[in-house]
Structures are given as C-alpha cells and as structure tokens.
C-alpha cells in the first residue's frame, strides 16, 4: 500500500509539473471552449499527449497533442516489476504496465481511421459511463481514471467530445492492449 501511495504521489508531482493554468470557462460557455477548459484541467494531456525530452526535462509534445501512444514507439519486452511496485511507465508517458497487462493511451484526435473521428457524442459518453471501449467493448484499462470521469455531467462530456472533434486529426494507430504476463512459478511448487 505504501508503494501505491508513493507511485500516486510521484505521478501527481510529475504530471502537475506539466500543467499550465487554463482560463476558466463557465458551464454555459461555447462547448468547444468549455471542452478545452475541462481537457486542460482534467489531466487528459498527461497521458494522451506523448512526452519528449527537452533540456528542461520531459515535456508534452503538443505537435502530437492527444494522439495517444506513438505507433512508432515499440515498448518491447516490459520489465518485470520488483516487489512492492504497482506499475511501470514508458518514457513517452503513454504506455503503462502493471497487473492488468500493458495499456496504451488512445488517440483522442478526430482522425477517422486511428482516432475517434467516427465516434458520436453518445459513443463517447457511453465509453466513459460504462468504462468500456465504444461503450460496450473491452474494459478501459489503467491509468484511465474512469471512476473519476464518470462524475462529469453529460453536458461536460459532450463539451469534451466537441472540443476533441475540433482538433486537427493525427494519424496514429495505437497498439492494442497486451494481456498480463503470468507470474513465474517458484521452484519446488
């Protein structure tokens, strides 16, 4: 439990260092402005925008904003975690490995082939409400904070979707999640 708390604390510190103040948008604002405000304050870029190394340390690559795990970045063999560790994160900040397997952050841009360009607002809302891809498919995996995002109103989620649809599409086919690797069996068992 202590390692989980340390992981959460470390992740919050790292991700908060990337945060920029967003101009508040009232609930009755233009849906694109409202969606941009929510995306900017809800940490969507923290996982869905790949990181690049700069002289100041890792920073979001805004030229690939919200495009998910880069298709050109193969995470290879995921390292086995030592005792007490919950997860490992790729240096892009877009691939996560833990007891659930390996998850890759989705392309949230409106690219019709590799992003959410064919989705409807209803599909987006159902995905968040059910915690399932397209509202009915595979489970949405960690670190996606579905339990938190379910608290958004339908109006909030519609504004987020409207904003995401206003972005330039980025062609980027994110890999499918990988299942967990079976733990090695101890000798003599």
pLDDT tens track for 102-152: 999 999 999 999 999 999 999 999 999 999 999 889 999 999 999 999 999
Q: How far apart are CA 89 and CA 171, in angstroms?
A: 23
Q: Which residue has the tokens 């109103």?
A: 153
Average pLDDT, the chain: 86
**Per-residue pLDDT, 176:** 95
Q: Per the structure, how many domains does the chain have?
A: 1
- Residue 50 placed within a domain: yes
**Per-residue pLDDT, 167:** 98
Q: How far apart are CA 119 and CA 164, in angstroms?
A: 11
Pairing assessment for the beta strands 95-98 and 88-89 based on DSSP bridges: antiparallel
- Residue 179 placed within a domain: no
Is residue 58 within 8 A of residue 91, CB to CB? The reply is yes
- Residue 37 placed within a domain: yes
132 SS3 class: strand
- DSSP secondary structure of 11-52: HHHHHHHH--------TTS-HHHHHHHHHHHTTHHHHHS-EE
**Per-residue pLDDT, 78:** 80
Which residues of the chain carry a pLDDT beneath 70?
Answer: 1-28, 182-189
- Residue 180 placed within a domain: no
**Per-residue pLDDT, 8:** 39
- Residue 188 placed within a domain: no
Q: How far apart are CA 38 and CA 46, in angstroms?
A: 13
Q: Which of 136, 58, 146, 137 is nearest to 94 (CA)?
A: 58
Would you state the structure tokens that stand for residue 148, as one six-digit string? 């938190």
- Residue 150 placed within a domain: yes
Question: Structural domain of residue 134, as residue ranges?
Answer: 2-71+82-166
pTM: 0.81
- Residue 177 placed within a domain: no
**Per-residue pLDDT, 82:** 81
- Residue 21 placed within a domain: yes
Non-local CB neighbours of 104 within 8 Å, separated by 6+ positions? 68, 69, 94, 95, 174, 175, 176, 177
**Per-residue pLDDT, 12:** 43
Q: Which of 119, 123, 147 is nearest to 135 (CA)?
A: 123
**Per-residue pLDDT, 16:** 44
């Amino acid at each position: 439990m202590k390692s989980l708390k340390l992981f959460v604390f470390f992740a919050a510190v790292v991700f908060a260092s990337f945060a920029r103040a967003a101009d508040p948008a009232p609930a009755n604002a233009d849906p694109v402005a409202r969606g941009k405000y929510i995306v900017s304050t809800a940490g969507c870029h923290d996982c869905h925008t790949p990181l690049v190394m700069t002289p100041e340390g890792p920073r979001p690559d805004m030229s690939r904003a919200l495009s998910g795990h880069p298709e050109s970045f193969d995470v290879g063999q995921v390292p086995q975690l030592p005792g007490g560790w919950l997860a490992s994160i790729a240096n892009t900040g877009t691939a996560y490995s833990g007891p659930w397997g390996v998850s890759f952050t989705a392309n949230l841009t409106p690219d019709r082939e590799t992003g959410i360009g064919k989705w409807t607002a209803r599909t987006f809302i159902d995905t968040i409400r059910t915690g399932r891809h397209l509202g009915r498919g595979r489970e949405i995996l960690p670190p996606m904070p579905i339990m938190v995002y379910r608290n958004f109103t339908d109006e909030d989620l519609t504004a987020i979707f409207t904003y995401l649809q206003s972005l330039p599409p980025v062609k980027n086919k994110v890999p499918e999640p990988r299942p967990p690797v079976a733990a090695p069996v101890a000798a003599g068992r």
